[in-house]
Chains A and B, each alone.
Chain A
Amino acid sequence: MIDTADADAPLLRALAPEVLGVLVRRGADFATAEDAVQEAIVKALGAWRRTQPDDPKGWLITTAWRSFLDVTRAESTRQGRELRVASAPPAGDVSGADDTLELYFRCAHPALSTASAVALTLRAVGGLTTRQIAQAYLVPEATMAQRISRAKRALVDVRFDQPGDLTAVMHVLYLMFNEGYSGHIDLASEAIRLARGLADASDDPEVAGLIALMLLHHARRAARTTPGGSLVPLAEQDRGVWDVSLITEGVAILRVALARDHLGPYQAQAAIAALHADAPSVAETDWVQIVEWYDELLRLADHPVVRLNRAVAVCEADGAPAGLVALAQVDDVVPRRSAVAAYLHERNGDLRTAARLYTEAARDAPNIPERNHQTRQAARINQLLRNP
């Protein structure tokens, strides 16, 4: 089985977008070139296990190019020698960074569904094999292979003469990061790596904000779950386990981005994460400033989830009654609303309402760890009610 423990995997993944860029620049169409690079990666994972070539990038380019030519020849024979390289972007004197950025744009193109965009980004830019991506999303490999080839077919008729959509790319990476860790592939780390790659190609401060946001959340990862897999809420996390080097890096990146005075939602979210990272405990957290950042975030993008999280911050800054007032402005159907409502009522001393809402939150939880956590909260409050 191929997995990321393979010593060659990190190098292969780093080289994948460069090799793809070379093939496309030589006139290969994106879809066929992408398949050829994937095939070369799979070959390398087998061949390099014995001996790594002296020039890994050259090896990959040669292998991928041969594979591309094989496919093109076979196709041109079938289709009456009609070479399909005509649809490829013209070769030109573009830098590697522009190539990479172009790849990100293509894989996150609005013509694709988000699931397809994430999968294609992981393969074409991330250099993961279809099998690895399938494992990460817990779907059969054949299903993932179809999802990727459908995505590439959807791109065939798209013209790439418009400026790319950086927001779409960042959204894809953000979703990838949020998938976190399941099975063999660490999607959160992969998203961070790809966001760093994006930052090398684009100096937009929101890209920096996205990296900072990821690093600051990634820093808490070890503290977020118990060894048994139960969730640990922020308030109860052992902050000594937070990764100081990730926090330091995240804060530094954010500071540079904010200094450019071009605020966006990722920078604002990263600022909130940085304030948490900076606090020795929940009680010593600068909640007033966190509320201000939530207000900023609402001005940038009024989203019910932001309002929901703001209600918790308001509770910590100004007390539970103020938090409940803020919660009243949040739509009833927002996911996790009952969980937040339960917490605010508990803080307000209304244990009966809190118990009922924690039970409701467990019922509505979108995943098993959250359901278990909310069930446990309900059990805890009911125990308090039985033995006051």
Chain B
Amino acid sequence: MAKYLLLKHYRGAPAPVHDVPMDQWTPEEVDAHMQFMRDFASRLEGTGEFVDGQALSPDGMWVRSDSEGGLPMTDGPFAEAKDLIAGWMIIDVDSQDRAIELAGELSSAPGAGGRPIHEWLEVRPFLSAPLAVTE
């Protein structure tokens, strides 16, 4: 099994095919989208492939240490141009093909007019722990 991170972006990903802001959908379309996301996660729990899913607030900042003993420096909120992660799902699957298949399904969540959004998701394999058998 191999773990993959499916990353959803608020900003910075290529534009989705059906790029309509969510507040311009109908309430029923919003509900259908939420239901799709819930069903997707519970189906992966059922297949034993779900690890974790979290959403991030769009608020945030850069932080780095400053002079010795001083308070850390902060920079933020993020500029509009910044790539901004919205959330992630971690899956544990048999193959990269399966990871791509699942990311494709997640990307087809319904949006405005009930059509699939076809948004771009970033798929990143985890670096794994060293193997016990090395030769």
Interface of A with B (CB < 8 Å)? 228-230, 355, 358-359, 362-364, 366, 368, 371-372, 375-376, 378-380, 382-383
- A-B pairs with the 4 shortest C-beta distances? A378-B23, A359-B23, A380-B27, A376-B30
**A379 adjacent to B58 (CB under 8 Å):** no
Task: Say whether B58 contacts A376, CB under 8 Å.
Answer: no
| Candidates B23, B26, B30, B58; contact of A355 at CB < 8 Å | B23
Structural contact, A230 and B34, CB atoms closer than 8 A: yes
B55 within 8 A of A: yes
Q: Are the C-beta atoms of B24 and A382 separated by less than 8 Å?
A: yes
* Complex A-B: 20 CB contacts under 8 Å: A228-B34, A228-B38, A230-B31, A355-B23, A358-B23, A362-B22, A362-B23, A363-B58, A364-B59, A366-B57, A368-B55, A372-B30, A375-B22, A375-B30, A376-B31, A378-B22, A378-B23, A379-B24, A379-B30, A383-B27
Query: How far is A366 from B29 in the complex, measured between Cα atoms in Å?
Result: 22
The minimal Cβ–Cβ distance linking A138 to chain B, given in whole angstroms, is: 10
Residues of B contacting A: mostly: helix
**Interface size of B in residues (CB-CB distance below 8 Å):** 16
Give how many A-B residue pairs fall within 8 Å (CB-CB): 40
In the bound assembly, the distance between CA atoms of A358 and B24 in angstroms comes to: 12
With a cutoff of 8 Å between Cβ atoms, the chain B residues found around residue A371 in the complex are 55
Min distance, Cβ A370 to any Cβ of chain B, angstroms:
12
Q: Is the CB of A379 within 8 A of B35?
A: no
Closest Cβ of chain B: how far from A203's Cβ, in Å? Answer: 43
CA distance A355 to B30 in the complex (A): 15
Cβ–Cβ contact A228 & B35, under 8 A:
yes
Q: Say if the beta carbon of B126 comes within 8 Å of chain A.
A: no
Evaluate contact between B38 and A229: CB separation under 8 angstroms: yes
**Could you tell me the distance between the alpha carbons of A366 and B34 in the complex, rounded to whole angstroms?**
17
B residues touching A (Cβ–Cβ < 8 Å)? Answer: 22-27, 29-31, 34-35, 38, 55, 57-59
Secondary structure at the A interface, as helix, strand, loop or mixed, is helix
Tell me whether A382 and B55 are in contact (CB under 8 A).
no
Closest chain B residue to A369, Cβ basis: B34
Q: Taking the nearest CB of chain B, how far is it from the CB of A333, in angstroms?
A: 12
Give Cα A376–Cα B31 distance, bound, in whole angstroms. Answer: 8
In addition to A359-B23, A375-B23, A379-B29, 12 A-B residue pairs with Cβ atoms within 8 Å of each other are: A228-B31, A228-B34, A229-B38, A230-B34, A364-B59, A368-B55, A371-B55, A379-B22, A379-B25, A379-B26, A379-B30, A380-B27
User: For B35, what are the chain A residues with a Cβ–Cβ distance below 8 Å?
Assistant: 228
Q: Which residues of A contact B24 (CB under 8 A)?
A: 379, 382
Distance between B55 CB and nearest chain A CB, rounded to angstroms: 6
Question: Which residues does chain B contribute within 8 Å of A368, judged by CB atoms?
Answer: 55
Cβ contacts under 8 Å, A375 to chain B: 22-23, 30
Which residues of chain A have C-beta atoms less than 8 A from B29's C-beta?
Answer: 379
> How distant is the Cα of A249 from the Cα of B55 in the complex, in angstroms?
38
Residues of chain B within 8 A (CB-CB) of A355 are: 23
Residues of B within 8 A of A383 (CB): 26-27
Cα distance A379–B29 in the bound complex, in angstroms: 9
Q: A379 to B23, Cβ gap below 8 A?
A: yes
A166 to B57, CA, bound (A): 35
Q: How far is the CA of A298 from the CA of B34 in the complex (A)?
A: 38
A228: which B residues are within 8 A, CB to CB? 31, 34-35, 38
Query: Closest residue of chain B to A380, judged by CB?
Result: B27
State the CA gap A376–B35 with chains docked (Å). 13
